Amino acid sequence: MSASTEDKTPRTVGDTPKGGSVLGFYAAKGSPRPPRIARGEGVYLWDEGGHRFLDATAGAVVANIGHGNPRVLAAMQEQAARVTFAYPRFFESEQSIELADRVCALAGEGFDRAFFVSGGSEANESAIKLARQYAVVTGQPKRAKVISRNPSYHGSTLGALAVTGDAHTQSIYGPMVREMPKVSAPLSYRIPDGHTAESHALACADELETTIVREGADTVLAFIMEPIGGLSTGAAVAPAVYFERVRSICDRHGVLLIYDEIMSGAGRTGAFLAAHHWAGARPDFVTLAKGLAAGYTPLGALLVPDRIVDAVAGSGGFVHGHTYFTNPLSCAVANAVLGEVIEQDLVRRARDMGELLMARLREVAARSPIVGDVRGKGLFTAIEIVADKATKRQLPASFNAPARLTEHGLKHGIALYNRRANLGAFGDFQMITPPLTITPAEIDELADLLERSLRGLADEIAAKGLATAA
């Protein structure tokens, strides 16, 4: 059955019944309530009314191996029957040791140790704190500033927010977090006049060096960046020279380079780490989450080299921890997920299916009056919605094109996760990041449902006179 919400009484957050009030914390008063989820299988989700949705973004870029994977469910059951919690300061677990070995092997040279937490924000907090403790124990106590990019997203806890480049969240929480320096993330679509993609990206990298020097190199601890941004830059891919230049700047000033691969990692881009696409990238730390346990349990990871851990261990150990760090159930699940990633060759599949998806998205874009750009790598892709393709003019932020597209998508049976209306030159983009298990036939279906949803959005834009408005 295909999805339809027209046959239902419209529900809004304003009339949320008792017992259904969780949503009220997320949505503005009057917004429609989403369908209530009943089950998932493969790339599909069903609501309680039996309506089917193609999960075109793997939720929040999480469900990398699809829903209802029997091997993962069995591993979860087996581990639950053995032990679900044993505090890691007292006990090791076979599952966490196996997972650490596996993840470090997949991440490759330079990654010897893994620290497991409950999600992406915790992984980034752990990265920043480990970097800081390393600086303190190696006689560099002035190093405390973490530079990051604008825009960027590194999580919702206060430490992660301090390095997140997002004007909206800063406008609310800014006064509560320490102000950290920000540098520009390179654009791939609205490249400034007089620049090529390369020269623009190099100018962005050089802004990092200028900022380090201005702040005082001996006060800068780390630079954190998403190698390919998700909800921040909408899958904009920088040229190879950018990654090399950033690395050499960090080397020159003794600044640790942290890659936030919470969305881009675990195979999504067609390499286990997005960093693997560029020989010159070579981050010191990598953080992972989302695809690592693929939505079956909460899990994040920080991967680091021996030299960092040895220095910190030599000073008495990492002064940091969470109750659920190295949780054996989550580690067992992630081992099963990575088993699927390896045995189903999902990293290669992300590359191959990514090419097919990109080709389909380009066809959809060519036929649509409102899709100005198609970008990304592997199955980490996005389309950008514009008012005018020739000029790349954006729709008014107040229209909130991504939220409108989500609405049209739900009517057509496609689930599309995105963010608020655009906050700058990276535009109103829609991530398209299906499970890595997606088949060619499902990609065709995704493209078809997306095209129908875009047609609905284009009609709405035309009816409101937004396409022609100056």
Binding site for ligand PLP (CB under 6 A): 60, 119-121, 124, 153-156, 226, 230-231, 260, 262-263, 289
Q: Count other C-beta atoms under 10 Å from residue 157's C-beta.
A: 16
State in angstroms the smallest separation of the CB of 366 from ligand PLP. 29
Sheet with 145-150, strands from edge to edge, namely 113-117, 300-304, 285-288, 256-260, 220-225, 145-150, 182-184
Which C-beta is closer to ligand PLP: that of 104 or that of 262? Answer: 262
Which C-beta is closer to ligand PLP: that of 365 or that of 379? Answer: 379
State in angstroms the smallest separation of the CB of 111 from ligand PLP. 18
d(CA 388, CA 368): 11
Backbone angles phi, psi at 111, to 5 degrees: -120, 105
Map tokens 């290669």 to a residue. Answer: 348
Where in 282-441 does DSSP place strands (E)?
A: 285-288, 300-304, 371-377, 380-385, 414-415, 428-432
> 366 to each of 370, 371, 373, 389, 448, how far by Cα in Å?
9, 8, 10, 10, 14
Which C-beta is closer to ligand PLP: that of 230 or that of 427? Answer: 230
Which C-beta is closer to ligand PLP: that of 61 or that of 136? Answer: 61
State in angstroms the smallest separation of the CB of 300 from ligand PLP. 6
Q: Could you tell me which residues are beta bridge partners of residue 145?
A: 220
Q: Could you tell me which residues are beta bridge partners of residue 113?
A: 304
Q: Count other C-beta atoms under 10 Å from residue 317's C-beta.
A: 12
State in angstroms the smallest separation of the CB of 18 from ligand PLP. 28
Closest CA to 166 of 146, 182, 145, 178: 182
State in angstroms the smallest separation of the CB of 65 from ligand PLP. 17
DSSP string, 94-143: HHHHHHHHHHHHHH-TT--EEEEESSHHHHHHHHHHHHHHHHHHTT-TT-
Which C-beta is closer to ligand PLP: that of 3 or that of 237? Answer: 237
State in angstroms the smallest separation of the CB of 154 from ligand PLP. 5
d(CA 160, CA 143): 17
State in angstroms the smallest separation of the CB of 464 from ligand PLP. 30
Which C-beta is closer to ligand PLP: that of 222 or that of 365? Answer: 222
Backbone angles phi, psi at 332, to 5 degrees: -65, -40
Which C-beta is closer to ligand PLP: that of 264 or that of 368? Answer: 264
Map tokens 């702040």 to a residue. Answer: 215
Which C-beta is closer to ligand PLP: that of 120 or that of 434? Answer: 120
State in angstroms the smallest separation of the CB of 148 from ligand PLP. 11
Which C-beta is closer to ligand PLP: that of 46 or that of 243? Answer: 243
State in angstroms the smallest separation of the CB of 389 from ligand PLP. 28
One-letter amino acid for residue 210 of the chain:
T
